[in-house]
Amino acid sequence: HPDSYKGNELAGRLFLIDGNHQKALHHWLKLLKQDHPLNYLYIPKIMEMRVDSLERQKLIAHFLALARKTRYPFIKNLLQYYLSKLYRENHHLKSSRRLIHKMGWITHWKIIGPFDNDRQSRFNRPYPPEHEIDYKKEYQGKRVPIAFRTLPFADYDGSISLKSFFYPNNGVIAYGVTYIYSNKSRLVDLHTGSTDGIKIWLNDQLLLRDREKKTYAIDQYRLEAKLNKGWNKLLFKSAVENKEPTMSKSWRVGLRITKLGKPVNGLRITTHPKPYKSLSDGSYVSKNPHYAFPKVLKSYLKGQTTDSKLDTPYYLSMWAVTHHFKNQAITNLEELIKDRPKSSHLWNLLGEAYYSNEEWGKAVSAFKKSIRLDKNQHMAHFNLARYYFRKSLYDKSLAKFKSLMNLTKQNIDVYIYLISLYNIKRWYYDALLTAQQMVKAFPHSYLSHIYSGKQYSRLRQWQKAQKEYHKSIRLNYSQSYAREKVYKLSIQKDQFKTALKSLKRLIFLYPSEIRYRLNLSKLFIKGMKYRLALNVLNRLKKLSPHHPALHQLMGNIYYRMGKRRLSLKSYKLSLKYRPENLKLREYLDFLSPRDYQFIKRYDLNDEEVRQIISSAPKVNSHPKTKGVILLKRQLIEVFKSGAYYYQIHYIIQITNKSGVKKFNQIRIPKKMDKLLKAVTITPDGRELEATVFERGKISFPSLEVGSIIEYKYIVEHERGEWLEDHFYTLFYFQRNSPILRAELILSIPKSKKHKIFVSDPAIQQKKDHYKDRWIYQWISLNNNPIYEEKFRPPFRDLARKVMISTIPSWKRIAEWQKSLISDQFTIDNSIKDKIMDLTKDKTSLEEKMKAIFYYVSNHIYYLYNDVGIFGKMPNRCTKVFNNKFGDCKDKGTLLIAMLKEIGVKAYYAGIRTNDRGQLIRRIPASQTNHIITYIPEQKGIKDGFFLDSTSELYPYKYLRPNSQGVWAIVLKGKDFEIMKTPSYPPQRTLAKLEYKLSFVNKVLKVQADLTAYGYYARRIRRKYRIKDKRKELLEKFFNKKLNGVEGLEASFSDLKEVDTPVKIESHFQVKDYIKNLDNTLQFNTFHHFNLTSTFTAKEEREHDLEFLYSFQKEIVQTLKIPDGYHLAHKPKSFSFRLNDLFFCSIQYKIEGNKVVCHKVLSIKKGKILLKDYTRFRKLCIQLDQSDQDTLTFVPVSTN
């Protein structure tokens, strides 16, 4: 049956697997002879093939024939779209435009952007266009104020290239609005496609919300929308994710309106605001995106026989792949493979889906599985070679592609990769030979001639290269690469007219591509035609007014024309739009140093600096410190947008040789904008310039004791790093060196509300105003150093400080964080399968929760990611699950998502761990550094509690010591709550060691039983997790207590059982431990607490003692009285308790023929104040003396 649909479908698949694209295309073209709904899936697959000019003609004929007879509107629209592309390639531009016009594209828009969307953080948070449409109003954009402007034009395929009209176009959001008039109320189909996230409102009612990361494709969604009679407002929000500049190839949106596949009559579209009936009731039409998989096709697949129903996920995955829904494609293929686990083809397709989703490990495993099932699976071999190439494993990739070349000559991509690999190896002649073979094998493919031209260019055979590029253009009129190469070659050969012609044709074909217009202006500049270059750039301003390259080129032109003022203005605009352009910033500073009025007004003058230096104390006046900070000064100017800049000024005196080493190199911010001063002042008064030898560091020459270093620099921030429209800072007046003068001066607009926290009344504050700004000045003199001490409170709690924040409330912070996490909890089949596997034998809700918690805490590796915690976006739970690693917020996301699947509500909770100091509740700001999870009271859970998904090897419901007793900001649904985490009593963090001792033949026999709970149990689980090393580690432990341990035997409880305490039972012996002096036995108890050396080693302290968590240790030593002896001397028992915080006891007692020494050290979370330190130290010394006393035994016959 040569015309069998199923037969040709399968034959095409098989030839594609075998790498024979031409025969696959032959069979799939036969499919188009029938008006079949599956053609909707195969038309994009055919277009993905690299067809040559002859095959293109066949395609056009088949597409036209099918378009005339098909009864399916969705297929007809698809054919129109692809026919328009084919016509463009054949230089039939009018025919192409005519087809696009018939598809109902909306091309009239008012657009606004870019707004910030760092890490997709603002997708769910509204910007002003969601509340108001005001074309006259300006709004704060990502970097500069922005306003609505008219879309100059749509692209040739009906879509809008937002990348072309906005800068920056990376990690940003844009809006588009238009008004549609309908002569009657009607239902229509609204088709849309987008890069990454998209939201669509019709008359203020949300029709679509999808955050999935994807590439643009036509008709990714189909929405049934109701147009009211009269005017209707249509608004879209497009959010593009952060990408590397080289990866940011596209940012597109396309919307069209049809009914039964045809444009709707009776509609008018305008960008002028019109009155409309708003439906802003907060409703959302659907919780799930309306993927544009045709209903007719769904019905067809449902109607198939039972055996064919397995094809449904296959076809769904085909659709998802061609429309760039990677996660959906993976889900469908994983489902299909469960039923067909031995299908080599499906494993290869799954690998391709993983590959496109950058799940590299899974992709490689799938490709290798496909090859194991079928060694002749050409496409799996090809994909594996492609993976090796992507990961720079060039030798492996080359070997694979060479073997593929020997198997088949029909895959043009093999030639392309081989040429690229030869070039990487610098085997240019081999690359040329391969390109020539490619031209022979595919003479009508424009790609063959492009790669041939590239090789001739590399070998500097310019004429042959240009000839090949012209051939490529004849074969595919609309492709841009060959035209760009012709332009560049023409520039090299000074063929101005040819270069100009190529550029103008590129601009005509691709009006949205900014780079072609920029190149045109550069060409005019090279030809010294400055007026023409300015005309090009002025027209470009209307397309992309904030593009930095545009303004930099204008600056270059004005500079060459001698118009210095206009040149500087253009350069400053360029820097405003791209502040990270350090080369231009340096050049601009050379031309025109910046004028910081605020700094000029409040900076110290030379005489004031000289006075500070001359009043430096004697070098030996601070013997404990490496240097004395004579001045620490910061000036900050904040702007309405949240942008700010600051100046730092330090003057430091070196007091000893350690200080010379410490201050020889000073770290400064890597993004420092201007170094104002960096000098060494020698003891004899000479001033030596410092050298910046590495980014972020200053090296000071000729330092010696008594030298003074002075440095001053400026740093600019376009926006705040955190909640970008707000400002927050924390200034410390103390360090680990004395600071004789610490000063902070802040300038902030009066209109910007702010909160201030001053920690110490010793800090003097002045408030003044200048024009429309408040000027604050805080100064503190003679600030003592904060030295390192054991059990010292955290530096943050001790230091004098000022905190300033413009964030209005913790509620604002909670809203921000919720906007980051709201879409990160969607799980896939692999996570569902894992949950089922974890909970299958669990009966109670508690057991299921435990199983999930232990999986996330112990099997998802914790990887610290220092990009900010509370205020940065976590990865999606699916990515964390697949990667098997994540930081605290990532692991929390996965835990919450998995608990949700079993019906348990769980919330994010941001905390500041107690080792980092207290969270200051009065100042809403970025103060948290860790994410844990809160489980509220709910059905099946009596009381709320916290879980920490980073608590590897800890018991369930047990928080790590540094997370106990701290404030937690809990994001509860639409609300939030600030509550304290629990502080556990000492008994929950307990280590108890019981020794049973006996003296036999001068040998001390020891049985030691250790029981550990909480943090102590975790330490043991971690330390002794390797079985083969347990004995060695345990011997080391006991030898520290009793030197000379022999014959150790030990048994451990199951260390994987984290819900139970750790138990270690051990037996060993020690020779010559008990001293025998004239038949008198002396025994010293061991395993001492050593309170004096641990807590009170110094006679005097600088700071309070603070215990950040509660813990308890118990040592019980039971010694059997040697036979024939009795106890002659027993040390005195001693115990003391201080402020119900610190309790220590040593009790000696006789129980029959045994002496028992029971030691207890119990400490609660809290502080021992400095005023109690002397008494506390005396008590520690007394207890240690009792602990070191000796038990004396004499023979029974001796009195």
pLDDT averaged over the chain?
Answer: 90
Question: What would the DSSP string read from start to end of 252-280?
Answer: EEEEEEEETTEEPTTEEEESS--------
Among positive and negative, which fits the CA dihedral 402, 408, 414, 416?
positive
- pLDDT at residue 1199 tops 90: no
The C-alpha angle with vertex 935 and arms to 930 and 938, in degrees rounded to 5, equals 165
User: What's the farthest any 2 CA atoms get from each other in the chain?
Assistant: 124
- pLDDT at residue 995 tops 60: yes
Q: In whole angstroms, give the CA distance from residue 665 to residue 663.
A: 5
User: Cβ atoms within 10 A of the Cβ of 584, count?
Assistant: 19
What's the pLDDT tens digit per position in 909-927? 999 999 999 999 999 998 9
Q: In whole angstroms, give the CA distance from residue 1000 to residue 1019.
A: 34
At 184 the three-state DSSP class reads: coil
Position 120 confidence tier, pLDDT thresholds 50, 70, 90: low
Residues near 483 by Cβ (< 8 Å), separated by ≥ 6? Answer: 469, 473, 502, 505, 506, 509
Q: 189 near 170, Cβ under 8 Å?
A: no
**Average pLDDT for 377-386:** 92
Q: Of 231 and 247, which is predicted with more confidence?
A: 231
What's the pLDDT tens digit per position in 48-107? 888 889 999 999 999 999 999 999 888 999 999 999 999 999 999 999 999 999 999 999
What's the pLDDT tens digit per position in 1092-1104? 999 999 999 999 9
Query: What is the model's pLDDT at position 1120?
Result: 93
Whole-Å CA distances, 903 to 467, 835, 938: 67, 12, 10
Q: Kindly list the structural domains of the chain, giving each domain's residue range(s) and its CATH number in brackets, ordered by start.
A: 5-10+16-100 (1.25.40), 106-293 (2.60.120), 297-393 (1.25.40.10), 411-512 (1.25.40.10), 528-593 (1.25.40.10), 600-651+712-808 (2.60.40.3140), 812-983 (3.10.620.30), 987-1195 (no CATH)
**Average pLDDT for 242-251:** 57
Question: In a 10 Å sphere around its CB, with 0-12 CB exposed, 13-18 middle and 19+ buried, how is residue 1147 labelled?
Answer: middle
Question: In a 10 Å sphere around its CB, with 0-12 CB exposed, 13-18 middle and 19+ buried, how is residue 483 labelled?
Answer: buried
Amino acid at 87: Y
- pLDDT at residue 1032 tops 90: yes
Position 121 confidence tier, pLDDT thresholds 50, 70, 90: low
Beta strands in 317-454 (DSSP E): none
Query: What is the model's pLDDT at position 1048?
Result: 94
What's the pLDDT tens digit per position in 299-355? 776 666 544 555 777 888 888 888 888 888 888 898 889 888 999 999 999 999 999
Q: In whole angstroms, give the CA distance from residue 995 to residue 1017.
A: 19
Structure tokens given for 828: 């896939």
- pLDDT at residue 869 tops 50: no
- pLDDT at residue 718 tops 80: no
| Helices (H), ranges, 1074-1172 | 1091-1095
- pLDDT at residue 1130 tops 80: yes
Compute the half-sphere exposure of residue 183: CA atoms within 13 Å on the CB side of its CA.
5
Beta bridge partners, 977, equal: 970
Query: What is the model's pLDDT at position 721?
Result: 54
What's the pLDDT tens digit per position in 698-709? 888 889 999 999
Percent of the chain with pLDDT over 90: 66
What's the pLDDT tens digit per position in 126-172? 899 999 999 999 998 888 889 999 998 888 889 999 988 998 888 89
**Average pLDDT for 1138-1147:** 94
Tell me which residue of 49, 87, 60 sits closest to 447, measured CA to CA.
49
The order of strands in the sheet holding 1125-1129 is: 1075-1077, 1080-1084, 1190-1195, 1125-1129
User: Residue 1051 has what DSSP assignment?
Assistant: E
Percent of the chain with pLDDT over 70: 95
344-356 and 378-390 are packed helices; what angle lies between their axes, rounded to 10 degrees?
20
User: Residue 616 has what DSSP assignment?
Assistant: P
Beta strands in 856-906 (DSSP E): 861-862, 885-886
Query: What is the model's pLDDT at position 972?
Result: 87
